[in-house]
Structure 1
Amino acid sequence: MVTPAGTLALLHTSPVHVPVFDGLRDRYHPGLVLRHLVDEELLRRARSSGSDAVAGPVAAALAAAVADGADAVLCTCSTIGGTAERQAGALGVPVLRVDRPMAAEAARYRRVVVVAALRSTLEPTVSLIAEESGPEPSFVSTVVVEGAWELFEAGDRDGYLDAVAASVDRAPLSEDSVVVLAQASMADAVERMSTRRPVLASPRLGLAAAAEAVAASAAVRAGRD
């Protein structure tokens, strides 16, 4: 699918996401311009002091991206995604969190198992799934992959992905359940799993939604020019 010309700014809390989203853009959305903003301190502060503690820096980063010509912004960090999303009204362009489309898909299932390497990611993800649920909410359980984040921070990507995959394969899954990988960095672990249940990751779904938002926003901006 060729995406109409437009610019998407992505707010990351780790540089590992840059090649992932570049690859997805090249494969699914050629023509979409990506501008990557990486600030690892945002996640550290959010983990230690809560997501409200980074509201100011997040707002400033997004405002700078819009001033630089972004037609939409995508936050790829689940921990601060809600904080970013709330800036949309002030910025005048779409601000998306990467995990919302994934949560909407997960809410279609009766049972959801949320897997995270960081405990700080669990509450935002579970809340988002509840927000996307209909009149019969899904039953949500959570799994923390102990020790996985330390592997990620040490740069051991294979060890990190193997730990995530092994945790999912050990999880007791019923025939009506779906697995949600709460962090974008987990996406490549899907290829290392043996489970037969559906496993949802956020990058591809989130970028697709953002590409649509860019096209709509760019069209509106063109109409004003």
Structure 2
Amino acid sequence: MTKIVVVHTGPVTVEPLKVQFAEQMPDARVVNIVDDSLLADVRAAGRLTPEVSRRLYAYMSSAQDMGADIILNACSSVGEATDVLRGLIRTPIVKVDEAMAEAASALGARIGVVATVSTTLEPTVRLIRRKAAEEGREVDVTECIAQGAFDALLAGDAARHDDIVTRAIIELAGHVDVIVLAQVSMARLVPALGSLPVPVLSSPQSGVAAVRRALTGAA
């Protein structure tokens, strides 16, 4: 049985990815490692720190020792650490937002990125620009922080979080060609957005699809 280890920096990413694995890879065994201090420490520092990167390495090293066939990093805020860890961990590592970033510039040159924390927004924007450059595309990225949404989610007020983020998405839609949702936890809003003039990309579905493709390629 295929074993996939997912490293989370908080509990809110567990369920959305669990749903996608059940739909796309129902026969796989998925093991979740959750440490909510990782994101808390990144937010407190305002950036990815060496200490967080070392803890992330420890979790991914443990995943390798567990016999994982592949590791999924579920958090964009620590995604840039994964770029380094790919050279240190033998087990293949997929970033949940990488496929989404690759798709964004193919849909338009004006890309809007919505996040609820700056520590996720900034690495997501850098990833999109890097992926666009790899394809020889020029993009204009509009950044949007849905102020107050993340604190509402941490406080257990999902309805307020959803309202703040939804309003941010709708307002941004009139100014860009495509919108990227920078956090896994925002993906559940997409079905309720209704008809918008631009596509809205989220990472759980494409991230799990990337895991499936990586495993197929490694077979």
TM-score, normalised relative to structure 1: 0.89
* C-alpha distance in structure 1 between counterparts of 2:39 and 2:10, whole Å: 9
* C-alpha distance in structure 1 between counterparts of 2:76 and 2:183, whole Å: 6
* C-alpha distance in structure 2 between counterparts of 1:110 and 1:138, whole Å: 4
User: In the alignment, which residue of structure 1 is the partner of 2:174?
Assistant: 173
Question: How many residues in Structure 1 have an aligned counterpart in Structure 2?
Answer: 213
Residue identity matched to 1:31: D
Residue identity matched to 1:60: A
Instruction: Tell me the CA shift for residue 95 of structure 1.
Output: 1.0
User: In the alignment, which residue of structure 2 is the partner of 1:146?
Assistant: 147
SS in structure 1 at match of 2:75: coil
Contact kept, 8 Å, 1:166 with 1:193, in 2: the verdict is: no
Comparing 35-44 with 194-203, greater Cα deviation is found at 194-203
Instruction: Tell me the CA shift for residue 10 of structure 1.
Output: 0.5
Pairing 1:1-225 to 2, within 5 Å after superposition: 5-49=1-45, 50-53=47-50, 54-108=52-106, 109-133=108-132, 134-171=135-172, 173-174=174-175, 177-194=177-194, 195-217=196-218, 219=219
Contact kept, 8 Å, 1:106 with 1:180, in 2: the verdict is: yes
* C-alpha distance in structure 1 between counterparts of 2:84 and 2:70, whole Å: 13
Residue identity matched to 1:115: V
Contact kept, 8 Å, 2:173 with 2:197, in 1: the verdict is: no
* C-alpha distance in structure 2 between counterparts of 1:135 and 1:89, whole Å: 25
**CA offsets 1:143-201 (integer angstroms, 9 cap, x no match):** 11011011111112222122211111122524x61000011110011122242310000
**CA offsets 1:11-68 (integer angstroms, 9 cap, x no match):** 1112122222121111121212111000000011112222133111000010001100
* Percent identity between the two aligned chains: 31
Residue identity matched to 1:89: G
Comparing 23-32 with 102-111, greater Cα deviation is found at 23-32
Residue identity matched to 1:213: A
User: In the alignment, which residue of structure 2 is the partner of 1:223?
Assistant: none
- Name structure 2 gaps, 5 residues minimum: none
TM-score, normalised relative to structure 2: 0.92
Contact kept, 8 Å, 1:106 with 1:112, in 2: the verdict is: yes
Contact kept, 8 Å, 1:46 with 1:79, in 2: the verdict is: yes
Contact kept, 8 Å, 1:161 with 1:188, in 2: the verdict is: no
Instruction: Tell me the CA shift for residue 9 of structure 1.
Output: 0.6
* C-alpha distance in structure 1 between counterparts of 2:214 and 2:162, whole Å: 30
Contact kept, 8 Å, 1:7 with 1:214, in 2: the verdict is: no
Comparing 95-104 with 193-202, greater Cα deviation is found at 193-202
